[in-house]
Amino acid sequence: MIQLSHIVFAFLSFYYVVISFGPKSLLHSNLYPVACRINTRSRQAHSMMLTRCRASAKSTTDKALSFFCDSCGAEMIKWMGRCPHCKEWNTIKEFKQVKFSPSSLDPRTIAKASGMIGSKQIAGSGRWIISESENSTLIPMSSIQQEQRFDRLPTFSKELDRVLGGGLVKGSVSLVAGEPGIGKSTLLLQLASALARRNVNAGSGVVYLSGEENPEQIAMRSKRLNLYADNTFLICDVDIDAALSNIAAMSVLPSVIIVDSIQTVRSANCDNAIGSVTQIRECAAKLVQFAKATGIAVVLVGHVTKSGDVAGPRILEHMVDTVLYMEGSEQMDYRLVKSQKNRFGSIAEVGVFTMSEEGMTDVLNPSELFLTSSAQNEEQEGSAVVIIMEGTR
């Protein structure tokens, strides 16, 4: 075994050589290459450490921290124990938000869907509404002409058309919210069937994107309701980027896209879980951008919280053009559809439906719902019938 005295003697001898002859004397010894290799490895390790630190700092900069309330969707600058908006406790969560980029949706997908690849290059533009003019920043309003692609699409129901203001506007984004089991999916599946039957000659069908059911379940429900299913295309996937790419690859673009629901889809640009505030906002932004660029009407299904508000960020209701709420009671088969926001019509209209074996059907005389048999026939004392106007009725 090497004794400690030998190690100390070797170290003192090496130190004496360096002090006596200087660093140049190491050039003629075998110790200089070893020292060079050690110095080179240390420099490489140092450079790698700097590279990792810079990459970590860049990723930290790209993903900023945000605080959102799970109950009302309000955004905060810091964590709080109680939300100042909805007054709920322990609902503010921390999210890593991806740094915003002007083109959240692939420009080639928009260009392919708009039929503009080869005729116009829009890469990196990130605009929602693609303009044909060269000056896309300043456009005189008097020079804008009403295009045919922004006309309305009448639905299968006069009640739904009344609430929408005459039908779905091409290129618009509508949000239909309601409690679970109220009939949102049934109503929209009937809408898809009616539009698919009407546009069978034009060749433009309807795309039904579902993140909650598989194709067999949707087809079984359509068969039970005796709906037309030849021109309806199903996409059962939660990846919104892949779904929009498949829609853009269709030979003829659909007239309507139905997403059931916005809380079940995700985008690859976000690392958060499905249904989080950041995911909902990112997916909604891509769908809005896709609708405005292609002229396809998009209908979103939204879940509601226990307080009756739409689940997710409050900005979701600001991004869409129309917000519809479906209400009803478990004891009654009637459903009311109200418009809380409508950029293309009135918000004072109310649509009345009844749930039957054939799905949602219109109620021709809604006034009969509020007149009991005792008030009509027996003329019970203490009851009075008054006329109240709601909307245009």
pLDDT digits (tens, 9 = 90+) for 350-369: 999 998 888 999 988 877 76
DSSP 232-268: EEEEE-SBHHHHHHHHHTSSS--SEEEEE-GGG-B-T
Q: Residue 36: what pLDDT?
A: 45
What is the C-alpha to C-alpha distance for residues 201 and 145, in angstroms, rounded to an integer? Answer: 27
Considering only residues 264 and 65, tell me which one the structure prediction assigns the higher pLDDT: 264
pLDDT (0 to 100) of residue 3: 63
| pLDDT level of residue 10 (50, 70, 90 thresholds) | low
Q: What percent of the chain has pLDDT over 70?
A: 64
Stronger pLDDT, 310 or 81, i.e. the higher one: 81
Supply the pLDDT for residue 78.
Answer: 87
The one-character DSSP state at 374 is I
Give pLDDT, residue 34.
Answer: 43
CA-to-CA distance for 286 and 106, rounded, in angstroms?
9
More confident residue, 306 or 287: 287
Q: Is the pLDDT of residue 107 over 80?
A: no
Across residues 205-233, what is the average pLDDT?
94
What is d(CA 290, CA 114) in angstroms, rounded to the nearest whole number?
9
**Residues 281-303, mean pLDDT to the nearest whole number:** 92
pLDDT in tens, 115-139: 543 333 333 334 444 444 444 567 7
User: Is residue 223 over pLDDT 80?
Assistant: yes
Q: Are 313 and 86 in contact (CB under 8 A)?
A: no
The Cα–Cα gap between 58 and 66 comes to: 17
Task: Return the pLDDT at 208.
Answer: 97
Which residue is it, tokens 């009403």?
Answer: 146
- Reported as a single tens digit per residue, the pLDDT across 29-83 is 444 444 444 445 555 555 665 555 555 544 444 456 778 777 676 778 889 999 8
Of residues 300, 221, 212, 211, the one with CA closest to residue 256: 300
